[in-house]
Amino acid sequence: MRRSPRELDPNAQPQDGGGVGQWGFADRADDAAEARGGRGTGRGPRADRAERAPKEPTPLVVWILAGLGAVAAVVSIVAALRPETALNWVWSAGIGLLLGGGAWVIAALRGARKWPGIVAAALCVVGIAAPVITANVQRAELEKQAQTLVQDEDDEAAGDDFNESAVASDLPGLVAGALPVGTGADVGQLRVVVQKVDLQATAAVAQADPQAPAPEGRYVTATVEVGNRSDAAISPGTDLTYELIAGDGTRVDALTCGAQLQDSPVLAADLPAGQTGTYNVCFDVPAEMNDDAVLESSAVRVADALASDRSAGFWSAG
């Protein structure tokens, strides 16, 4: 059996350091416990745990900046719900991100709660991403519709014994005899008026759609008014075709334009019977047709894709 130090040496003195038992065993236990961040086992004084410092009240400027940032983000997110306005308000989310970041920084410097700035900044990130995603999805859908419509026209022409060569040979004469801009013409059961043609629309298209790809040659736009005199609603983007045709018969389909304009017929809702709608049509003119003289002698062709006689109207672009 192990004996205590006093039994071994009655004259022994307690070790320095004190503690329960006065022989050092409890002191060593205390030291080990304190080294681990705990409390000692002896009778020494207990160390109070450090308490967290209370947060400072959130300054009013933090709430204001975070609130403005959140509002800017919501504006961009709401605009993204409509493809034609998706990118028009993305700048507000960028400004909101700066405001939310500023609220975050101010709160951190003053030791206040940072969550208002964090929430506002997160909303702004969504407000930036949502319009970009919407625009890209819509652009992909437009390209898909262009391919489908071209294929449908080819299939319909083959099924109706449509003589494409004969139509192509007639195009120069039809272009030369095109109607002046502003004149109305019957296209099937529709009344169509090409109100304006802009042969130098590259800058305007870039402003309307900053994400639009660079044109092959230049962008040309046309403002087209369509009056639906039929007894059923029509889709101005699929029931009508829009082309820019040069004097030599070179054709540019509006569906090849990758830009998204406000009031684009492809993005527009169906036009009810008896109603009139005005649409902005875009053409991506190829490099070989990118000449002022060529474009001034060209014409805008609007055709009823559903009419059995392929009725169409031609309006002078120059």
Q: How far is CA 31 from CA 20, 25, 34, 43, in A?
A: 13, 10, 5, 13
Q: For residues 62 and 55, is the Cβ–Cβ distance under 8 A?
A: no
Q: For residues 117 and 102, is the Cβ–Cβ distance under 8 A?
A: yes
Higher model confidence: residue 197 or residue 76?
197
% of the chain residues with pLDDT over 90: 21
Tally the residues of the chain.
Answer: 318
Query: Cα–Cα distance between 234 and 237 in angstroms, integer?
Result: 9
pLDDT digits (tens, 9 = 90+) for 44-89: 444 444 455 556 788 888 898 889 988 988 888 888 787 666 777 8
Q: Which of 1-10, 25-34, 85-94, 144-153 has the highest mean pLDDT?
A: 85-94
pLDDT confidence of residue 50: 45
pLDDT digits (tens, 9 = 90+) for 215-242: 999 999 999 999 998 889 988 888 888 9
Check the CA dihedral 131-136-140-146 and report its sign. Answer: positive
* CATH T-level assignment (fold) for domain 170-316: Immunoglobulin-like (2.60.40)
Between the two ends of the chain, the Cα-to-Cα distance in Å is 118
Nearest to 67 by CA among 102, 111, 110, 105: 102
Give residue limits of the domains in the chain. Answer: 60-137, 170-316
Q: Counting beta carbons within 10 angstroms of the beta carbon of residue 279, is it exposed (0 to 12), middle (13 to 18) or buried (19 or more)?
A: buried
pLDDT digits (tens, 9 = 90+) for 279-304: 999 999 998 898 999 999 899 999 88
Query: Cα–Cα distance between 164 and 154 in angstroms, integer?
Result: 9
pTM: 0.51
